[in-house]
Amino acid sequence: MKKRLSRREFLKWTGFAAGGTVLTLAGCAPAATPTPVPPTATPVPPTAAPTPTPVPPTATPVPKPFAGTTIKVLMSDMPYVRFVEKALPEFTEASGIKVELEIVSWPVLLQQTEIELSAGGSTYDAMTMIFIKAQRWMRPGWVTPLDDYIARDKLPLDDFLPATLSPFKWEGKLHALPWVAESTQMIYRKDVLDQAGLKAPDTFADLHAVCEKIHKPPEFYAYVARTEPNGVHFPWPIWLQGYGGNIFRDPPNDMTPTLNTPEAIKATEDFVDLILKYSIAGTQIYDTPDCQTAIAQGKAGIWVDALGIFGPIQDPAKSLVADKVAINLVPAGPAGRFPQIATHGLQIPKNAKNKDAAWEFIKWATSAEILKRSAIEGTHSAVTRESVLTSKEYAAKYTLAGVNVGDLIAEALRLAKVAYRVVPEFPEVGQRIGQGIGEIISGQKSVKDALDAVQKDVVEIMKNAGYTLKEPY
């Protein structure tokens, strides 16, 4: 399909074309034969010299109050971040601010940001604000509120999806601007399912049935999943809630852990069974890049996880199957369909050295223009601005197998029940859950024994945090 030129591009290219045409015509026309002038007694007065065209004054340069300033930014390796990295020269040209962007893996980002903020460090001027860490970082005052900047610059916020702003508020103040509206979705090889006469799985039972039919190891594995402890706790609750369980009994009203209930055991058995039977990972620890590679290289068929990390699979420069995949809602369990959601943003640490310059970067990086370009020119589909999600360009690129990914994001936001994820203690709880599931996958413990141990440890985590728990637990 031909790329449609924007108005700016159209004017640019037609301007060059018109100029080229005029030059060509002027250069190729034959010289005209001069007409003889009859003699006359009256002398011809000399032609008046043309009035010289005034030379316009030199344009006043755009003020760059931060020219020469260098800021350091810490983010994780995701499609949006790679697009921002590519576009940084434009920001520097416009603002005079040089950006040293440090891109690290997700586990390193979690650890490095926690250390920097808790120690009151000043190494970075802007950093990723992580959904599940936001309350922990905002409450002690480790992050700079952005309200004064927003008011000064009269920056409108109504284009951001409300669900992506609310997690970054504490005591009425906004501490970050969001760049990803993360939701769990299911990416799958539509061509493989079509060849087998199968539809995209809609339930857990469907998922097992489809995997059984398309699983042909070692050439092709039906499934792949993250099993690294920092990542597994994002997709696992799809199964936990789908079987009627939850992390806590009734968050935020009753924070008693419920991680070894019959529902939790059944959910975990199903979750692990898919991995052990059909995943290319088997008992190995798989993280985001491993799963991306498995799908992109045509080795695996289905992945249920975060939409924001599917980007490389949809990039023809990185994927052998970019035109063969489709995306749909996560499968439903007996108790319903429960996609998980998250959002990440950009924050300014309390002790950052160049706060004003960092704010200019955040405004630019989360602007409608950059977010739209990151989706259309890049593969960042999980954008946070309504104007981008509802644009014709977005629909044209992200309608796969008749399904608009923007609609999937909206539906995930509507269905999700994630009150458990915003409590300050959840990162530690999620890590312990991930460790427990890893013990099951590796065969070190049975599902019941592993979940009993996780439940015991999480009860202690919540008690130590000062929560009043209700027996039985």
Model confidence pLDDT, tens digit, residues 225-245: 999 988 899 999 999 999 999
The pLDDT of residue 52 is 52
* Domain at 383, CATH number: 3.40.190.10
Q: Are 259 and 321 found together in one domain?
A: yes
- pTM, to two decimals: 0.81
The pLDDT of residue 281 is 82
Q: Are 116 and 144 found together in one domain?
A: yes
Q: Are 327 and 443 found together in one domain?
A: yes
What is the number of structural domains in the chain?
A: 2
Average pLDDT over residues 306-315: 95
Tell me how far apart the alpha carbons of residues 209 and 176 are, in angstroms, rounded to a whole number.
43
**What digits encode the pLDDT tens for the residues 41-73?**
444 445 555 555 555 554 555 678 999 999 999
When comparing pLDDT for 7 and 296, which is higher?
296
* Residue at 18 is within a domain: no
The pLDDT of residue 22 is 31
Q: Are 193 and 140 found together in one domain?
A: no
* Residue at 278 is within a domain: yes
Q: Are 161 and 190 found together in one domain?
A: no
Please state, rounded to an integer, the average pLDDT across all residues of the chain.
89
Q: Are 306 and 431 found together in one domain?
A: yes
Q: Are 459 and 370 found together in one domain?
A: no
Q: Are 219 and 160 found together in one domain?
A: no
Name which of 94-98, 125-129, 184-188, 225-229 the model is least confident about.
Answer: 225-229
Question: Is residue 26 scored above 80 in pLDDT?
Answer: no
- Domain of 117, in residue numbers: 70-174+341-415
Q: Are 386 and 265 found together in one domain?
A: no
Confidence tier at 175 by pLDDT (50, 70, 90): very high
